[in-house]
Amino acid sequence: MSSATSDPRPEGSFPSRAPKGKACLACRRRKMKCDCVRPVCGQCVRFNREHDCEFTDGDQRSRTQILEENIAALQARLKLLESPTSEPSTSTSPESLPGARESRSGGHVDDGMDMSPEREVEGLVHTKLNSQFAFNHVDEPPLTVAQGLIEVFMRYAYDFGFFLNRARFVSYCTRKFSTTAHHAPVDPLLCTVYLWGSILSQDDRWTIVEETYATHCASLLISTASSEGNFLHIIQAEVLLANYYFHSARFSEGRNHLSIASSLVVTHKLGKIRNQIPLTLNAKLDLVDMSQYVPPPESTLDEGERIHCFWTVYSLDKVWAMAVDRQSFIVDDGSPSGTVETPWPLSMKEFEEGDVPESYRGGHTMMSFLHQPFVPENQPAVMSPVCLRSQAVALLSKAGWLSSAASIDSAPHLEFLNEHDILIEKFILHLPLLETLSSFDDPELIRHLVLTHMIARLSMMQLHNVFIDSNLTSTVKCLSASKAIAAAYKVILPKRSDIIRGAQLHADPFLLICLTASAKMMVNDLSNAKNGHHLWRTGPLCNSHTYMGVVLNEYVETIEEANRGSALTETQVAKIGAMRAVGGV
């Protein structure tokens, strides 16, 4: 029997070369050896590409080839109808771009980048159907595909660490599309945006090129590290790529890119913006002039982007240092050079409108927040979401430090723990109530505030976890925080009916860490109750395990809906399953 009809061979036993023209289309595109086994060849089985495996016999064309030819013909016809007196062109002139509209960031007009829902749908159609884009190697997406990827990314931009002003970014994209030839990507920021857009667009064909594209983004960042380009764009690209690797459960690579972003933040002194301390008081020799690397901000908006950049990188650094149990890259150690002086961030709209009071200054920002009584009356009347997130992260970082040095026999240390406990409680009370978030019009803002709630509760768990098996108060606080995280998750979790219809929850990768911590606390509760731990025999914990068992079963079923299909989601769900197996619950 010929190889084309025989059963698949063991892995690694492919013939040296398939007969000419007999290999499947997927192996031909990748220039791989094909064993020609039908209906799915061994290579496609090996690399989980069964849906890409297609064969052609003689003059018979495959389904993909027919679709590509039909789409190409339709596109040529559309171009001819749009410009009947000229040949179809691939020009990216300003006239060929979509019309302008007012952006959601304010009154800025985006010349050439329409972010309306109609354009978003159109962009997604191009993303899914434009077969002129080669999915088997790295290419700059065609203009229509690129716009579609940017549009879908912008719906979730803040979930993945986007800190730039949206209107300025859209204008930047418009200029790039108007003046730059569309060949291999040379812009690392756009490359990382395309990468995230490809994930969020849910086009299965992107999985073929995703890893190659991520590697290409990293190589672009390396090649532009020493250039004189916009350093904020470089940091932004590093942040997006770091979050991509966290989303992919590749923590070492994520940390590597996060370390570069943190280093650039320190190099450009983004932690010293609007510093109240006079420069003359800084004891330094000035042996090397670094002023050329830290150009002054061009405008209030530019300064606002720098402030948002610092707090975004700071937050990302701290939460993932806690998640992987490693030292953070940005350290506020109280020294003149290591003290965070940048003020808490205002909203981007305030920076955009120039509505920044003269009194808006920093000065021992972190130490003042963590070591002075939290007085809500002293807080700004309207706190920006980025500010609230940054403060929650600061509480989490401090809780981790205190718990790592905790001793139940040390009265002074217990006093520090109690003070931080009170600070966390007051901060939580100052947050918008979870019950009111559903009335907000912006789903992205709701997700942001929900995760801020979770991080604040996680701070409480982190602070008391060291005493969970020995102190009843700590145990109750941890369980209460765990339930609060589960309650917050319900605010953004799609309804079951919507999930059945294909709705997905795209969210910050750190959301999975919060959900895992919450589930771990529930598992610990059930395990201790089952094993007759002394704290669970009497008192408020003795009957909680029955209810917690029901909650945990429902909870675990919904956790996999967060970033469904991502490696991080699968990893964390498996981890929860392993914890339940060990605990016998």
Task: Kindly list the distances between the CA atom of residue 78 and the CA atoms of 65, 71, 75, 87, 93, in Å, as whole numbers in the listed order.
Answer: 20, 10, 5, 11, 18
- Helices 510-530 and 300-324 meet at what angle, rounded to 10? 30
Q: Which of 37-51, 148-162, 318-332, 553-567 has the lowest mean pLDDT?
A: 37-51
What is the reported pLDDT for 413? Answer: 72
What is the reported pLDDT for 327? Answer: 92
Region 79-86: mean pLDDT is 49
CB distance 399 to 462 below 8 Å: yes
Q: Can you list the domains of the chain with their CATH numbers?
A: 1-60 (4.10.240.10), 373-585 (no CATH)
Question: Is 435 a residue whose pLDDT tops 80?
Answer: yes
Whole-number Å distance between alpha carbons of 28 and 62:
13
Region 534-543: mean pLDDT is 66
Instruction: Give the tens place of pLDDT for each residue, 106-155.
Output: 333 233 333 333 333 333 333 343 444 554 455 677 888 888 899 999 99
SS3 552: helix
The gap from C-alpha 86 to its chain's centroid, in whole angstroms, comes to 44
Question: Is 441 a residue whose pLDDT tops 80?
Answer: yes
Q: Which of 34-43, 178-187, 229-238, 360-369 has the lowest mean pLDDT?
A: 178-187
Phi-psi region of 15 (alpha: psi -120 to 50; beta: other; left: phi over 0): beta
Q: Write out the two tokens for 24.
A: 């499947």
Q: Which of 485, 442, 450 is nearest to 156 (CA)?
A: 442
Do β-strands 109-110 and 101-102 pair in parallel, antiparallel, or remain unpaired?
Answer: antiparallel
CB distance 559 to 502 below 8 Å: no
Q: Write out the two tokens for 334.
A: 């109280």
What is the reported pLDDT for 71? Answer: 59
Residue 70 pLDDT grade (very low, low, confident, very high; cuts 50, 70, 90): low
What is the reported pLDDT for 137? Answer: 53
Q: Which of 483, 463, 485 is nearest to 473 (CA)?
A: 463
Region 423-433: mean pLDDT is 93
Please calculate the CA angle 570-576-580 and round it to the nearest 5 degrees. 145
Region 558-574: mean pLDDT is 93
What is the reported pLDDT for 128? Answer: 42
DSSP label of 136: T
Q: Average per-residue pLDDT in the chain?
A: 78
Strand partners, 505: 562
CB distance 387 to 440 below 8 Å: no
What is the reported pLDDT for 109? Answer: 29
SS3 268: coil
Region 547-563: mean pLDDT is 85
Q: Write out the two tokens for 320.
A: 């993932």
Whole-number Å distance between alpha carbons of 446 and 311:
19
Q: Which of 66-75, 191-200, 232-241, 304-313 has the lowest mean pLDDT?
A: 66-75
Region 375-403: mean pLDDT is 82
Question: Is 494 a residue whose pLDDT tops 50?
Answer: yes
Residue 9 pLDDT grade (very low, low, confident, very high; cuts 50, 70, 90): very low
Q: Write out the two tokens for 98.
A: 């979509």
What is the reported pLDDT for 222? Answer: 85
Residue 193 pLDDT grade (very low, low, confident, very high; cuts 50, 70, 90): very high
On the 0-12 / 13-18 / 19+ scale of CB atoms within 10 A, 307 is: buried
What is the reported pLDDT for 212? Answer: 81
Strand partners, 110: 101
Residue 527 pLDDT grade (very low, low, confident, very high; cuts 50, 70, 90): confident
Instruction: Give the tens place of pLDDT for each residue, 446-463.
Output: 999 999 999 999 999 999
Count Cα atoms within 13 angstroms, Cβ side, for 567.
11
Question: Is 572 a residue whose pLDDT tops 90?
Answer: yes
Phi, psi of 16 (to 5 degrees): -65, -35
Convert 527-539 into a string of H (helix), E (strand) and C (coil): HHHHCCCHHHCCH
Whole-number Å distance between alpha carbons of 329 and 317:
7
Q: Long-range pairs for 361-367 at CB < 8 Å and ≥24 separation?
A: 361/274, 361/275, 361/276, 362/272, 362/273, 362/274, 362/275, 362/276, 363/275, 363/276, 363/277, 364/339, 364/340, 365/340, 365/341, 366/332, 366/339, 366/340, 366/394, 367/332, 367/334, 367/339
Of all residues in the chain, the percent with pLDDT exceeding 90 is 38
- Cβ atoms < 10 Å from Cβ of 495: 9
What is the reported pLDDT for 131? Answer: 41
Question: Is 10 a residue whose pLDDT tops 50?
Answer: no
Residue 511 pLDDT grade (very low, low, confident, very high; cuts 50, 70, 90): very high
Region 547-573: mean pLDDT is 88
> Would the pTM of this model clear 0.85, i.e. be above it?
no
Q: What is the CA radius of gyration of the chain?
A: 27
Question: Is 252 a residue whose pLDDT tops 70?
Answer: yes
161 vs 100, higher pLDDT: 161
What is the reported pLDDT for 530? Answer: 81
Whole-number Å distance between alpha carbons of 261 and 237:
9
Whole-number Å distance between alpha carbons of 105 and 408:
50
Question: Is 68 a residue whose pLDDT tops 70?
Answer: no
What is the reported pLDDT for 90? Answer: 35
> What is the torsional sign of CA 154, 160, 166, 170?
negative
Q: Which range scores top for mean pLDDT: 31-45, 281-295, 535-549? A: 31-45
What is the reported pLDDT for 105? Answer: 34
